[in-house]
A and B are shown apart, each in its own frame.
Chain A
Amino acid sequence: MKRDHREISGATDYSSGSGSRADSSSIGNSIKGKLWEEDRDAGGMDELLAVLGYRVRSSDMADVAQKLEMLEMVMGTAQEDGISHLSSDTVHYNPSDLSGWVQSMLTELNGPPTPNLDPVLADSDFNSSNPQHRQRNQSRVFHDDSEYDLRAIPGVAAYPPPKSDPDSDSTRKRVKTSMSSSGSDGDGSGSSFSSPQENGIPGTVTESSTRPVVLVDSQETGVRLVHTLMACAEAVQQDNLKLADALVKHVGLLAASQTGAMRKVATYFAEALARRIYRIFPQDSLDPSYTDILQMHFYETCPYLKFAHFTANQAILEAFATASRVHVIDFGLKQGMQWPALMQALALRPGGPPAFRLTGIGPPQLDNTDALQQVGWKLAQLADTIGIEFEFRGFVANSLADLEAEMLEIRPPEVEVVAVNSVFELHRLLARPGGFEKVISSIKAMKPKILTVVEQEANHNGPVFLDRFTEALHYYSSLFDSLEGSGSGVAPPSQDLAMSELYLGRQICNVVACEGMERVERHEPLSQWRSRMETAGFSAVHLGSNAYKQASMLLALFAGGDGYRVDENNGCLMLGWHTRPLIATSAWRLATTELDKSI
């Protein structure tokens, strides 16, 4: 019987064996279960418990084991007495607070705990931070402790198991069932020790347990996945990189048991966290043409970019209502997908089309091809087809802040009406101090009739990493959900979908892994942009009902259109998935005070 081996200390070969067996349990909730397993698998228990973080003297081990055994028997009798909730409830315990846990168990069962149990537990050298842990937020599943080394974490991190067990969440339930089975057997010793061996092997417990075992409860795994992600982020925030590393690997395990959007989001976030931990930062501007391709797929898969383009175009169209020459400055030309629709609308304008001039700004290409010129060429061909006078100019700039208004050859407002368009570009300027202000002053020098801004509706620019992480997790979960929804059930996951997800994944990586100037995805919510714009001297232009109508129709076209929502927010339009707004379009013009200043 395993119990006899308990007396043996220093049997190191056991540690690896039981360690691998212990891997089957997941971190947070089944630490308690692991405790049972570790104890029963015995061997060099002093070392084993030390691995867990409990410094228990070998000489005390026998007592501790005895107490635990008593507890188990009590639990078993409780089961017979019908207090079955104790063996079936899912509860979270602080794994390092062993005495507290034991106390609470015994209190529930027997009233005041047996006196001989306490002194043993009080005497043994438990982790010195224990009382400190107790005072901390008890709802935490486990605690940050710098004394933990990697082996402290059961799971893949320590000893990669020969067969990975994605159904780790059910282990705890299995442990409970094993206890209950032992209870119903009435045999406190035998079956309770035999079943933990089976715990290491998924699925076999079902035969030995007397209660039906819930296998994978993916919702619970999902919750656990989120908790683990959050815990990892917190560990990173507190610079506890070892713990974070272990947790990140665990996230990978948990994510494997999920499907769909949750899995993908978790995978991307885990990768980003791993990059942050190991300091392998992704290069942001690796290949602009690659990001363009990804964005094209994103454009085709889901309505966000189309929504952005159509609503911005509507605002620009209304601003251009009576002009005979118009000039649009696009801060991020990319493939120029926004402009065909505007050109067509201008061509069909009552009163005839104006002369259309487009200035496109883009990043430098790595292979020295002039991508901007190619786009301009295509647009010129389109303009020729539909009969619009067209002029194009491309500007290559590393950052918008490098631009000066004079470079763009703005013509006076009597001759030409100017519109400035920025789709997902302004937030990048926040990475560099003073960048945004410089660009705003250049925009003011251009004297635009209208400035259209489309930005993500999220707060990914807070000072605290953990807050950013939480926000990003919620935001990208909604985004990925909507991607799933739009392609759901129609065709096997297409390349488009994968590329769109990759496009978003790169954003996730930037938000989580990068810092300083590298972190360019500094999304801010509409309210913050509003205050920035108003401080800078712009006043809002309401996007009329036409824009709203067009946006609603556009969304209705998309499969999964029921999930998308257009909301109007003080004249700005927001597109969201179910209740969560995801992107916001707003339009601005120079406030009259600014106009007076310029005159």
Chain B
Amino acid sequence: MVQNHHRGCHRQGNHETVGESKEKRPKFFINDHVDILIEILKRLDCRSLCVAASVCRLWCTIARNDSLWENLCFRHASPPPTSVRSVVLALGGYKRLYMGCVRPVRRRLGRARRASWAGDEVQLSLSLFCVDYYERLGGSNSNGRLVVGESSPSSSLMFLCKPVNV
């Protein structure tokens, strides 16, 4: 779309129809090239990604994809072993991990952060994430099936939600 408008400017503000553009020059519409779109969105930071999710339905679907959030989580850290993915997905997914743990942890540690901590931040976030999942497990109901509460944030992560006195 950016490219679209860019090309449009060259045309003296003349709003071109699809038919016209096909005759004149090949149009580049990013939504036609989802793989490139994904590559671009992969490199966005959290806020931009959330903004991007409200652009159009396609972007929204892509932004919700967990692999993008996986990249966000491990951006500054060394790539994790493959076993991490299955564990994280089982515990609720990377988006949840990022929003619930990694982002507040990174923000809190921002002041006191040291370079060597990047990988450990994710480790710590993973542990907290796991504790959070465990807390949300709740008790078994009468059928013996366990209920996982999705909506309510468990209290073990509440300390991350509270704003810090700077």
Binding site for B on A (CB under 8 A): 296, 299-301, 303, 310, 336-337, 340-341, 343-345, 347-348, 350, 352, 374, 377-379, 381-382, 385-387, 486-491, 496, 549-550, 553-554, 556-561
Contacts and interface: CB of A to CB of B under 8 A. Distances in A.
Contacts of B142: none
B42 to A, nearest CB: 23
A347 B109 contact: no
Contacts, number: 110
Given A347-B87, A348-B84, A553-B121, A341 B130 contact: yes
7 smallest beta-carbon distances between A and B, as pairs: A344-B130, A340-B134, A341-B127, A385-B90, A340-B130, A559-B164, A386-B87
B126 A387 contact: no
A486 B158 CA distance: 12
B100 to A, nearest CB: 13
A550 B125 CA distance: 11
A340 B159 CA distance: 18
A550 B123 CA distance: 9
A310 B127 contact: yes
Contacts of B87: 344, 347-348, 386-387
B132 to A, nearest CB: 9
Nearest to A382: B134
A239 B163 CA distance: 49
B126 A381 contact: no
A575 B116 CA distance: 22
A496 B155 CA distance: 10
Interface of B: 81, 83-84, 86-87, 90-91, 104-105, 108-109, 112, 116-117, 120-121, 123-124, 126-131, 133-135, 137, 139-140, 146, 155-156, 158-160, 162-165
A529 to B, nearest CB: 27
Nearest to B139: A374
Nearest to A345: B127
Majority secondary structure, A binding face = helix
B165 A489 contact: yes
Contacts of B140: 374, 377-378
Given A378-B146, A385-B90, 15 more contacts: A303-B159, A337-B135, A337-B156, A344-B126, A344-B127, A344-B130, A352-B83, A377-B146, A382-B133, A386-B91, A487-B162, A490-B163, A549-B120, A553-B124, A559-B165
Given A344-B126, A348-B83, A348-B126, A385 B120 contact: no
A344 B127 CA distance: 7
A585 B86 CA distance: 32
Contact of A385 (B91, B126, B135): B91
Nearest to A491: B162
A350 B81 contact: yes
A299 B124 contact: no
Most chain B CB within a 10 A radius of its CB, from A301, A343, A344, A377: A344
Nearest to B116: A549
13 contacts: A310-B127, A341-B130, A344-B129, A345-B123, A348-B87, A378-B134, A381-B137, A382-B134, A386-B90, A387-B90, A550-B123, A556-B112, A561-B164
